[in-house]
Amino acid sequence: KTEIGPCIYFVCADVIKIGYYTINGGYISFHSQIHNFDRLYMPIRLQGVSYKWIHIGNNRLIGIKVTILDGARNVDISIIITGPILNEAIYDGYTVYDGMPACKLKLLV
């Protein structure tokens, strides 16, 4: 069983996978795409987007107002404190994360 809190925002141009027994607080936003902006001579709107999966593992607790960006890979059994931003990275299991961008706060074992 996975719990989804209120006011969850999905920008889902690619896959967003959320594992079993995960608790998602309110006001979380998932963005599995990002706008390209490497051509300075062209409007950003015309440059298209890049797509990468978001994978949330099993047995996770994600606090309120967390932003999860494209390419974030979360291993099982960890806690995301309220408010951080998870960017393209692999986040270890048995760990508490906080900050912008998210970084290890402490180990659970």
Q: What is the pLDDT along the chain (109 residues), one digit of tens a residue?
A: 788 888 998 888 778 889 899 998 899 999 888 889 999 999 999 999 888 889 988 998 898 899 998 888 886 778 888 888 888 888 888 889 888 888 888 898 7
**Measured between alpha carbons, how far is 1 from 50 in angstroms, rounded to an integer?**
31
How far is CA 108 from each of CA 4, 69, 74, 95, rounded to the nearest angstrom?
23, 24, 15, 5
pTM of the model: 0.82
